[in-house]
Amino acid sequence: MPNRRRYRRINGPPMMEGYKPFGVPMRELESVVMSLEEYEALRLADYENLTHVEAAKKMNISRPTFTRLYDKARKNVAKAFVEGKAILIRGGTYIAEEYWYRCNSCHETIVSPTPEESCEKCNSDDIIRIDGHNDPEINNTGSGK
């Protein structure tokens, strides 16, 4: 693996695209956007119970950067809870060790060691890569590896 940039590493894509609150009519539903790194920061600190130092190491980032992501993630969750907003988990600057896709037809999350052209569940070819390949610097290294 090239050692010229500190990639933000994420263990795996979230199993859902986000959350919707109960009891808020769709037409009034607004959302907050949480990046995949923010999601990963929350997962490592509050679900895996890692210290910020350990979690930063896992994500290949500095401790202050980790804490910033983590604070942002918690603020987004709090905002969504208090204001009755949906949470969309998408975007960010990170690199995945594998190919990640999300199917636009059945919303399945696909993780594969090789490139895929269609959804393994519903066979739709309407799938999008969500493993961070959109970052041009990452593209230069080829294939999300």
Q: Is 104 in the site for Zn ion (CB under 5 A)?
A: no
Shortest separation between residue 98's beta carbon and Zn ion, angstroms: 18
Closest CA to 130 of 38, 14, 1: 14
Nearer to Zn ion, 94 or 101 (CB): 101
Q: Which of 11, 51, 112, 124 binds Zn ion (CB under 5 A)?
A: 124
Nearer to Zn ion, 75 or 121 (CB): 121
Q: Is 119 in the site for Zn ion (CB under 5 A)?
A: yes
Q: What mask, x for binding Zn ion by CB under 5 A, covers residues 13 to 52?
A: ----------------------------------------
Cα 13-16-18 angle, rounded to 5 deg: 110
In Å, how far from its chain's centre is CA 99? 13
34 SS3 class: strand
CA distance 79 to 92: 19
